[in-house]
Amino acid sequence: MPIRTEPVTVNIGPQHPSTHGVFRLRVTFDGEVVQDLEPVFGYLHRGSEKLAEERTYSQVVTLTDRLDYVASMSNNLAYVRSVEKLAGVRPPDRAMYLRVISAELQRIASHLVATGFLLQDLGAFGTPLMYCFRERERILDLFEMLCGARVTFSYMRVGGVFQDAPGEFWIALDKFLGDMPHYIDEYEQLLSGNEILLTRTKDVGVLTSETAMDCSITGPVLRASGVDWDLRKVDPYEIYDRIDFDVPLGTVGDNYDRYLMRIEEMRQSLRIVSECVKQISSGPVKADVPWLVRPPVGDAYDHVEGPKGELGFYLVSDGGIAPYRCKIRSPSLINLTAVKDMLVGGKLSDMIVTMGSIDINMGEVDR
């Protein structure tokens, strides 16, 4: 007599300790195994794209901080670059170096958050999270010296950055660049060899490179599946072509690979920043672009390799002081298309860990 079982539908709801923001998964379980799931989002939808049509080009910068609130430097960079492409402005060299330094520091901070919360989902009670946040605080102090804020920076302006870095910034940056590799080795020693982490993440949430490309996944998740696509190498913007660094790739495309990607990318970002600090030359920090910039009629799309993936802005200008249309290509939203392939068939605990390893940010998904 077969045991009569029935699937149970559970709301891994908007209010749940490990959904990384207000994100809901309506999951039908057969016992612990995920049978079917349907992501539901929109809880953090603030209508940024509609708001952008009401603000001048320079005011929209404050809007872009709040998209991916963990990596607001690279949001600024993506937006400002597409306005410069629209207006045909080229920022001076020193501004580009400052932008790359802050974008790479922001990538380290975002990867620290991603790794810390991945371990929190795995159950390591807070220890890796606290170590990652201890290092992230040092980066936030650097940003506080640079632009006065700790999370929503609005540091970049059309044509460059608003102000040069103070003297104490460079001293603190050198000290940070000296200590950080040692801390990353500590994370590796604490985590990469940990047998329990290995059994929990290896061959879990596997994403083949074909599905990844088909679902237009970008960022560490795509590279973990072995697809060699990093905008900083493939389509070098700002001054990335003057800096040599490596792009880590995964082999299997499971959670462990995605974790390794982020740890390795942190090391590479450190390399980039230390190289930028060597190459930076003095000079103006902002091209003379009027505050009320009026780009010519037309449209432009520019993208940047953010910590979560390819963040792009498609701007349409009708010659006025405000963008006619500002479409945001958000990597976290599109990285969720393949969430069903990765999760169906796995267990409840695998689902939580895989969601953590995809590293979505609800501010960017719902805009």
Partner 1 sequence: MTVSLTGEDVQARVVGAIQGSIESWNGSDVWVPSGFLHEVCKFAKEDPELGMDFLVAISAVDYIEYFELVYHMQSIVHNHKMIVKTKCWGRENPTIASVVDVWRGADLQEREIYDLMGITFTDHPNLKRILLWEGFPGHPHRKDYLEPPR
Partner 2 sequence: MYGLGIMGGFLITLKNLFRTPFTIQYPEEDVPRASRFRGEEFVWYEQRCTGCASCAKYCPLGIIKIETSLGGTDMQEGQSYSVDVFDIDLGRCMFCGLCVEACPYDALHMGSGFERGQYNRDSLVIPIEELKLADKRPSTWFRPQLEDKKYHPQGGDPLSWDEVGR
Partner 3 sequence: MGPITSANSFYSNLYTAFVDFHIVGVSPIPEWLAYFLAGFIVIFTVINAVVIITTLGTWVERRVLGRFHARLGPNRWGPWGLFTPIADAIKLLTKEDTRPDGIDPWVFNMAPIIFIVPAIMVFAVIPFGENTYVANLNIGLLFIIAVTTVGTIAIFMAGWASGNRFSLFGAMRAVAMLISYEVPMVLSVVGVVLMTGSLSLVDIVEAQDVPFIVVQPLGFLIFFAAASAEMSRSPFDIVEAESEIVAGYHTEYSGMKWGTFQLAEFIAPFGVSAILATLFLKGWDGPLLPSHLWFFLKVCFFWFLMLWIRATIPRLRIDQIMAFAWKVLFPLSIVNVFLTAIEVLVWPNPTTTEWWTMAAINWAVAILSIVIFSRIGKDKMSTRRPIFSSRGSNSSALKGAN
Q: Which residues sit at the interface with partner 2, rule CB under 8 A?
A: 55, 58-59, 62-63, 65, 127, 131, 134, 137, 141, 144-149, 152, 154, 162-164, 166, 168, 186, 189-196, 198, 291
Output the CA torsion 98→158→330→350 (10° steps): 20
Residue number with CB closer to partner 2 (37 or 293) = 293
Residue number with CB closer to partner 1 (65 or 310) = 310
Distance, CA of 315 to CA of 298 (rounded, Å): 8
215 counts as binding partner 1 under rule CB under 8 A: yes
* Rounded least distance, CB 8 to partner 1, Å: 22
* Rounded least distance, CB 19 to partner 2, Å: 26
The one-character DSSP state at 189 is I
Residue number with CB closer to partner 3 (195 or 288) = 195
Residue number with CB closer to partner 3 (76 or 120) = 120
258-277 residues near partner 1, rule: CB under 8 A:
none
Task: For the chain, give the longest Cα–Cα distance.
Answer: 82
Size of the site for partner 1 (CB under 8 A): 35
Other beta carbons within 10 Å of 118: 30
Which of the stretches 25-33, 57-65, 259-267, 298-306 binds partner 1 when contact is defined by CB under 8 A? 298-306
Residue number with CB closer to partner 2 (59 or 208) = 59
Read off the tokens for 22.
Answer: 């207000």
Distance, CA of 208 to CA of 251 (rounded, Å): 10
Read off the tokens for 318.
Answer: 């009708």
* Rounded least distance, CB 235 to partner 1, Å: 4
State which amino acid sits at residue 15: Q
Residue number with CB closer to partner 3 (57 or 229) = 229
Which of the stretches 103-111, 179-187, 234-242, 268-276 binds partner 1 when contact is defined by CB under 8 A? 234-242
Give Cα separations from 102 to 155, 224, 244, 337, 357 (angstroms).
9, 24, 17, 30, 24
Residue number with CB closer to partner 3 (251 or 279) = 251
173-212 residues near partner 1, rule: CB under 8 A:
211
Q: Which helix (H) or strand (E) holds 156?
A: strand 156-157
Among 12, 23, 41, 58, binds partner 1 (CB under 8 A): 41
Read off the tokens for 26.
Answer: 């309506």
Distance from the Cα of residue 29 to its chain's centroid: 31
State which amino acid sits at residue 26: R
* Cβ 303 vs Cβ 231: under 8 Å: yes
Residue number with CB closer to partner 2 (49 or 164) = 164
Q: Which residues sit at the interface with partner 3, rule CB under 8 A?
A: 8, 10, 16-18, 32, 119-127, 130-131, 134, 190, 192-200, 202, 208-209, 223, 225-228, 230, 233-234, 236, 241, 246-253, 256-257, 260-261, 264, 347-350, 352
State which amino acid sits at residue 60: V
Q: Which residues, 6 or more positions from 139, have their beta carbon under 8 angstroms from its beta carbon?
A: 105, 106, 108, 109, 112, 176
Distance, CA of 18 to CA of 220 (rounded, Å): 20
Among 18, 62, 208, 216, binds partner 1 (CB under 8 A): 216
> Which residues does residue 300 pair with via DSSP β-bridges, in sequence order?
315
Interstrand relation of 160-161 and 156-157 (parallel, antiparallel or unpaired): antiparallel
Which of the stretches 172-180, 181-189, 289-297, 327-335 binds partner 1 when contact is defined by CB under 8 A? 327-335
Report helix, strand or coil for 322.
Answer: coil
Question: Which positions touch partner 1 (CB under 8 A)?
Answer: 41-42, 45, 47, 49-50, 211, 213-217, 227, 229, 234-236, 299, 301, 303, 310, 312, 314, 316, 324-325, 327, 329, 333-334, 336-338, 366-367
